Amino acid sequence: MGEGEGEGDKLPPKKDEVITQESMKSARQLDFTHVVHPLHSNQAPVTSAASASSSIPSPAVTATPPITTSQARPVSTTTVATPIPPPPQPQGLLHVPIRHPERKPESPKSKPRAVGVGETRDGTPQKKKQCNCKHSRCLKLYCECFASGTYCDGCNCVNCFNNVEFDTARREAVQSVLDRNPNAFKPKIASSPHGGRDSREEVGEPVMLGKHYKGCHCKKSGCLKKYCECFQANILCSENCKCLDCKNFEGSEDRQSLFHGEHSHNVAYLQHVNAAITGAIGSYGFASAPGPKRKKGQEFFLNQGTKDSPTHRLGQANTGRTPSSKTDSRAGGPSKVVYRSLLADIIQPKNVKALCSVLVAVAGEAAKALTEKRLADQKETSVSSSVQDQGQGNNKGDEVEKAASGNQAEKSGPEDSSSDGSKGRSLSPDTLALMCDERDTMLMVATSPNGSVEPTSQLPNGGQDQFYAEQEKVVLTKFRDCLNQIISCGELKESNFSSSRMDLDTPAHTAVKIQPVVQQRPVANGVSQTIKQPSQRTTTTTPTPTTRLTTTTTTTTTPTPTPIPTTTSAQTQLHKTPALSEKKDL
């Protein structure tokens, strides 16, 4: 192969790519009118208009995360600004997973590809894969960008037609593809036929996603490599698949060893764990969303990367895996492992944000209080020193303080300190860690007129570390309290879940019953507690806690319970915690 690539004129337009201006309809027209979406029922519940547009391969209307959300970013390529005026579309369309999500999770072992940054539905930055097409002009489904309905953006492709300049050709290609397969631009991974995952998740029901509507046809990969679309999408092979020697089924030892065995420390696994935890704070971790792209994510996952969507991967527990021959032959192993925290429906991103705000506010308060205290101490010190020893250096008070601090030896001077602080320690580490969106707020607090809260400018160097230490202590204490509240929340939910399971322990709820548990070990800081497993019928898969998880492992990853505490009530519960309610006071 390889012949004929190069300049576009060398590529004779194939019969399905000949551009006929007269007959050509706009991409939107094409996509909105004649495409039938039998799979729509498997997608997230959106309006009919949204469903129609969800298949539109034009970036202007696909509303895939990378396109729709990246406009705030300084992306300079032409693909971001779409010349096509986007048709009116429901907001819900923005949440339609990107097409071909199974392609998106970045393999930890794959080559480092040039990537752009997209965002998942919740705004989490996520890598957008970029194609390397050479012969398809990015106008065939071979091209991931084209297949996902997006323009190529910063890709490494050659002779790319998948951009604004060649929009006409692109539209024609779209039409051609749609003629062949009206579902070509639909997500190939169907969620539960019973409804969208969103609605299910809102009621706390386990999100069962993932069924390749065409199925894979793998022969040699055992469906345990990313060649397999199912595997890549973190889903199990289904009865739709026509694969040979499939190992991507529940209970597969190969598959389990891949995820939980000797590879338990690899990046993919960590992505799984992280995705699970991400889910605990409200992210869907939909791998696909290139997402999930936790996507993907991550990349589920895992992302993604991202095999970053455990829930996604395990999504077939009660969906579509109808008792087909394939299912029957494979089932029998342990039930599916759903990495989903009890807190998944409790902790929402806004809660995290609120927590950050609270902590930042606490930091500010602490800084203020400490500053006042310090100034008072300094007054006393200076007075006493002047009385007792006027002949000695006028820095003695500072020296004493330095000695008390015990860690200021290498301070070179106020300027250095200030500059150092601006680079590294102008804010305490915990504050920095919390400052994601609160940076402005924090700066405002720090520089408030009466506030004397700005330690860098108002405190002598000698006490800075101690100052920060004290501030840190206050903040971390508050953070610990908040985490304890969250843990209590989860325990409450868990206990409700456990009790309710007894009620639900009927054959009709078998799928729920068999969900196993992932139990997080308590973390070293002693804050978290060992969470009892609600079910003993489950296989315990204990992800190895990593340093990356140090903070978040204070929450427990447990199976998704039945919807006992609804999201609303759970959130209310969370908001009742002193820590979060304190924000109002502040």
Partner DNA sequence: GAGTTTGAAACT
Partner DNA sequence: CAGTTTCAAACTC
Binding site for DNA (CB under 7 A): 1-2, 4, 14-16, 103, 107, 109-111, 113, 129, 131-138, 140-144, 147, 177, 180-181, 184, 188, 214, 216-221, 223, 225-229, 232
Q: What span, in angstroms and rounded, lies between the C-alpha atoms of 392 and 505?
A: 81
In a 13 Å sphere around the CA of 353, the CA atoms on its Cβ side amount to 9
Residue 199's CB: how many other CB atoms inside 10 A? 12
Are 144 and 100 in contact by the 8 Å Cβ rule? The answer is: yes
Smallest separation (angstroms) from DNA to the CB of 1: 4
Smallest separation (angstroms) from DNA to the CB of 307: 11
Q: What span, in angstroms and rounded, lies between the C-alpha atoms of 509 and 504?
A: 6
Q: Which of 17/122 has CB closer to DNA?
A: 17
Q: Which of 144/401 has CB closer to DNA?
A: 144
Smallest separation (angstroms) from DNA to the CB of 98: 14
CB environment 292-318: b (16+ within 10 A), e (fewer): bbbbbbbbbbbbbbbbbbbbbbbbbbb
Smallest separation (angstroms) from DNA to the CB of 323: 23
Q: CA torsion angle for 238, 239, 244, 246 (degrees, to 10)?
A: 30
Q: Which of 34/373 has CB closer to DNA?
A: 34
Smallest separation (angstroms) from DNA to the CB of 9: 15
Are 401 and 409 in contact by the 8 Å Cβ rule? The answer is: no
Smallest separation (angstroms) from DNA to the CB of 126: 15
Smallest separation (angstroms) from DNA to the CB of 73: 22
Smallest separation (angstroms) from DNA to the CB of 319: 20
Task: Fill in the amino acid letter for 538.
Answer: T
Of 55, 58, 129, 127, nearest to 97 by C-alpha is 55
Q: C-alpha distances in angstroms, 239 versus 324, 327, 445, 512?
A: 6, 7, 59, 21
Of 139, 164, 155, 115, nearest to 290 by C-alpha is 115
Q: What span, in angstroms and rounded, lies between the C-alpha atoms of 474 and 373?
A: 14
Q: Which of 216/347 has CB closer to DNA?
A: 216
Measured distance between the N- and C-terminal CA atoms of the chain, rounded to whole angstroms: 67
Q: What span, in angstroms and rounded, lies between the C-alpha atoms of 488 and 503?
A: 23
Largest separation between any pair of C-alpha atoms in the chain: 99
Q: Which of 135/480 has CB closer to DNA?
A: 135
Q: Which of 220/548 has CB closer to DNA?
A: 220
Q: Which of 171/188 has CB closer to DNA?
A: 188
Q: Which of 141/474 has CB closer to DNA?
A: 141
3-state DSSP call for residue 117? strand
Of 326, 345, 24, nearest to 170 by C-alpha is 24
Smallest separation (angstroms) from DNA to the CB of 231: 8
Q: Which of 113/260 has CB closer to DNA?
A: 113
Q: Which of 133/487 has CB closer to DNA?
A: 133
Q: What span, in angstroms and rounded, lies between the C-alpha atoms of 28 and 34?
A: 10
Q: Which of 5/198 has CB closer to DNA?
A: 5
Q: Which of 187/463 has CB closer to DNA?
A: 187
Which residues have C-beta within 8 Å of that of residue 272, sequence separation ≥ 6?
259, 300, 301, 302, 307, 308, 310, 313, 339, 543
Smallest separation (angstroms) from DNA to the CB of 267: 12
Smallest separation (angstroms) from DNA to the CB of 97: 15
Do the bridges between strand 125-128 and strand 116-119 make them parallel or antiparallel, or are there none, so unpaired?
antiparallel
Q: Which of 113/396 has CB closer to DNA?
A: 113
Residue 493's CB: how many other CB atoms inside 10 A? 26
Polymer length in residues for the chain: 586
Q: What span, in angstroms and rounded, lies between the C-alpha atoms of 449 and 540?
A: 55
Smallest separation (angstroms) from DNA to the CB of 110: 5
Q: What span, in angstroms and rounded, lies between the C-alpha atoms of 462 and 417?
A: 10
What region, left, alpha or beta, does residue 444 occupy, with left being phi > 0 and alpha being psi -120 to 50 degrees?
A: alpha
Q: What span, in angstroms and rounded, lies between the C-alpha atoms of 481 and 466?
A: 22
Q: Which of 14/265 has CB closer to DNA?
A: 14
Q: C-alpha distances in angstroms, 484 versus 235, 487, 550?
A: 34, 5, 15
Helical H segments across 143-206, by residue range: 144-147, 167-180, 197-202
Smallest separation (angstroms) from DNA to the CB of 106: 7
Q: Which of 189/487 has CB closer to DNA?
A: 189
Smallest separation (angstroms) from DNA to the CB of 445: 45
- Specify the residue for token string 């429901």: 90
What region, left, alpha or beta, does residue 192 occupy, with left being phi > 0 and alpha being psi -120 to 50 degrees?
A: beta
Smallest separation (angstroms) from DNA to the CB of 13: 9
3-state DSSP call for residue 64? coil
